[in-house]
Amino acid sequence: MAGVLLCRDKRGAGSRGSGLALRSSTGHLAGKRRDPPMTLIDDAASVRENAYAPYSGFKVGAALRSASGNVFVGCNVENVAYPEGTCAEAGAIAAMVAAGETRFEEVAVIADSPEPVPPCGGCRQKLKEFAAPGARIFMATTGGARQEMSVDALLPGAFGRDHMV
């Protein structure tokens, strides 16, 4: 499915179902817009169902709202060669960048666990790279537990562009 993204446009043009739509990088389908953060958590929960996790059985979904208001989603995709898998957060970021956007304001991550699961170290760095100033992260469980913090608090002392001379 090269060139196809899961996205919900900020304008909220009509669409059926979950409000998520397939769109090509040049096409434009949209879905309904709801209020954050529940919208992002719902979108993350929806895409989590598509996760490919035959080895761990641990499915994760992520949804982020770009600075322009569009929503992009991703789910974890495992591989028998474990290091070759993709995290949900990285998938959502890749969809956003493929659509030509590079900043997000909010991100939600959901997993089936007793407590909200924070992103792994690599995803924390990836999130920091694309986070708008003041960006928030909402971590949730399928059972309804939630935790919220800033992306800055998630990765204090992050490596950034300012470190490169």
Structural domain boundaries in the chain: 4-163
pLDDT value for 8: 53
- Contacts of residue 98, defined as CB under 8 A and 6 or more positions apart, other chains included, come to 3, 5, 25
Contact 62, 43 (CB under 8 A): no
pLDDT at 29 over 70: no
More reliable by pLDDT, 19 or 152: 152
- Contacts of residue 104, defined as CB under 8 A and 6 or more positions apart, other chains included, come to 64, 65, 66, 67, 72, 93, 96, 130, 131, 132, 135
**162: DSSP letter:** G
Residues recognised as catalytic: 89
pLDDT value for 32: 42
pLDDT value for 17: 35
pTM confidence score: 0.80
Alpha carbon distance 155, 132 (integer Å): 14
What percent of the chain is predicted at pLDDT more than 90? 69
CATH topology of domain 4-163: Cytidine Deaminase; domain 2 (3.40.140)
Element (H, E) at 108: strand 104-111
pLDDT value for 74: 98
